[in-house]
Chain A
């Protein structure tokens, strides 16, 4: 029998390592899928089928010289990537990824597959997302470079604009579930309608799901909303002046943020770890499959759609996304009141 605190420490460690690995897998699949879409091979030299390419990239980056512009604000220049990476890891702490388990009978009491079960988990994710803006803004400002500053300004205004529709679409799920805890929201999606349609909130909130996904792409600064790092205009945006390990931390943060957004979308709309064929204790496999499917969708979108214009992005965010999200929330609230749950 393993004591409870050892198991909990194990979960924390497992989540940390899994997120690092997930970032590596994402980098590899991003390049491989991009290759397939553009009729190239993608990475194929390092390891079988190029599978060790992300690790080669990491070692290459670590051994590079870390440059800093002479006029940069030293403290903030190095604090910015740390803030970005920390916020990315911290957001996943409240995301549940499996049902209660005894780890194949190793434990006396079952524990939740989640680092911290907070009863306002949804809001914690939202709060940490809003904090992660600072990493980007500080990077852009402290670099003392015009490209970085422009990238940071674009990023901040984009994230503020889309955070609103992100939050409002989230609120309509909270209204349906009647809870702020991600665990309770997932458990509310257990079972099926008519015996075969899973009771996932995506079927109750189709508009909310679409808005959440689009806002999620904008929040993670991915194409077609990748203005902060639009390479044709801004070199690389907020991380133009970064190299070596600090650059790697921004890179890591971006991919982990994608994983977190996909995991939160899975918990909120796709029923989390609930699914047919597998016992409850192996539900985390369903969770991985669903999260992976959303991540594949992100990659697919990035290599298929062209970038919008900046004014189009702002118009779309304020004049389409936000009114639709608000309408969805009002209709949902009315539906919950008049039809019951």
Chain B
């Protein structure tokens, strides 16, 4: 419990600093810290596989690409214009609406899971299934094989699209 609170605090704190920080490079790194804290929470939930995959895919692969983009754009600080006081008018209204929707959604999700004997995220697969990589593979390729394949094709299409768009410019 103490470890959970510690890592949860790190994850929330780092995430807040990602949004509030002025240096994009530091934001990217703090996001990695936040992912690492999430991975530690997964270990606490007896899901070491999910934790390691979180590090390999999110912290290891995706964030390196983010880092590349930020490094190559050489964006040392955000534009001075954006660093002014809180935005007024339409952006403010939109922001408040989105925030309210998110808070409502979170409250609804928490209220819903309270009833199911403390176990969070109660979908089809419970925690004991996720422990074993073998069973995770079985669930993924047997029960959810259609969704899995469709997602793969979607990502492939996105990749081909990105290549086509990048080629057209030159």
- CB <8 Å contact, B64 and A156: yes
Within 8 A of A (CB), among B45-87: 48-49, 52-53, 55-56, 59-61, 64, 67-68, 71-72
**Residues in A whose Cβ lies below 8 Å from that of B26:** 76
Assembly CA distance A160 to B67 (angstroms): 13
Chain A residue at smallest Cβ distance from B133: A180
Within 8 A of B (CB), among A117-141: 118-120, 123-124, 126-127, 130-131, 133-134, 137-138, 141
Residue B38 at the A interface, CB < 8 A?
A: no
- CB <8 Å contact, B61 and A160: yes
A156 with B68: in contact, given A73-B25, A130-B61, A134-B32 (CB under 8 Å)? yes
C-beta contact mask, A180-192 vs B, less than 8 Å → 1, else 0?
A: 1000000000000
**Residues in A whose Cβ lies below 8 Å from that of B64:** 130, 133-134, 137, 156, 160
**Residues in B whose Cβ lies below 8 Å from that of A131:** 55, 59-60
Residue from the list B32, B52, B68, B133 in contact with A127, Cβ < 8 A: B52
- CB <8 Å contact, A124 and B52: yes
**Residues in A whose Cβ lies below 8 Å from that of B49:** 120, 123, 180
Task: Name which of A119, A123, A141, A160 has the most chain B CB atoms within 10 A of its CB.
Answer: A123
Q: How many residues of B contact A (CB 8 A)?
A: 19
- CB <8 Å contact, A130 and B59: yes
- CB <8 Å contact, A120 and B71: no
C-beta contact mask, A181-225 vs B, less than 8 Å → 1, else 0?
A: 000000000000000000000000000000000000000000000
Assembly CA distance A160 to B66 (angstroms): 13
Within 8 A of B (CB), among A81-131: 118-120, 123-124, 126-127, 130-131
**Residues in A whose Cβ lies below 8 Å from that of B32:** 134
- CB <8 Å contact, B61 and A123: no
C-beta contact mask, B18-59 vs A, less than 8 Å → 1, else 0?
A: 000000011001001000000000000000110011011001
- CB <8 Å contact, B48 and A130: no
- CB <8 Å contact, B67 and A130: no
Assembly CA distance A131 to B61 (angstroms): 9
**Residues in B whose Cβ lies below 8 Å from that of A248:** none
**Residues in A whose Cβ lies below 8 Å from that of B61:** 130, 160
**Residues in A whose Cβ lies below 8 Å from that of B52:** 120, 123-124, 126-127
- CB <8 Å contact, B60 and A130: yes
Residue A153 at the B interface, CB < 8 A?
A: yes
Within the complex, the shortest CB–CB distance from A14 to chain B, in Å, comes to: 25
A126 with B25: in contact, given A137-B64, A137-B71, A160-B61 (CB under 8 Å)? no
**Residues in B whose Cβ lies below 8 Å from that of A126:** 52, 56
Within the complex, the shortest CB–CB distance from B22 to chain A, in Å, comes to: 13
- CB <8 Å contact, A127 and B48: no
Assembly CA distance A156 to B68 (angstroms): 9
Residue A325 at the B interface, CB < 8 A?
A: no
- CB <8 Å contact, A141 and B25: yes
Within the complex, the shortest CB–CB distance from A25 to chain B, in Å, comes to: 30
Task: Name which of A130, A153, A180 has the most chain B CB atoms within 10 A of its CB.
Answer: A130
Residue A149 at the B interface, CB < 8 A?
A: yes
Assembly CA distance A164 to B53 (angstroms): 14
Task: Name which of B60, B61, B68, B72 has the most chain A CB atoms within 10 A of its CB.
Answer: B60
**Residues in B whose Cβ lies below 8 Å from that of A119:** 48
C-beta contact mask, A136-168 vs B, less than 8 Å → 1, else 0?
A: 011001000000010011001000100100000
**Residues in B whose Cβ lies below 8 Å from that of A137:** 64, 67, 71
- CB <8 Å contact, A127 and B71: no
Ordered by A's residue number, 5 sampled pairs between the chains whose C-beta atoms are within 8 Å are A76-B25, A124-B52, A127-B56, A131-B60, A134-B32
B: residues with CB less than 8 A from A are 25-26, 29, 32, 48-49, 52-53, 55-56, 59-61, 64, 67-68, 71-72, 133
A: residues with CB less than 8 A from B are 73, 76, 118-120, 123-124, 126-127, 130-131, 133-134, 137-138, 141, 149, 152-153, 156, 160, 163, 180
List 11 additional contacts besides A131-B59, A141-B25; criterion CB under 8 Å: A76-B25, A76-B26, A120-B52, A126-B56, A127-B59, A130-B55, A131-B60, A149-B71, A153-B68, A156-B67, A180-B49
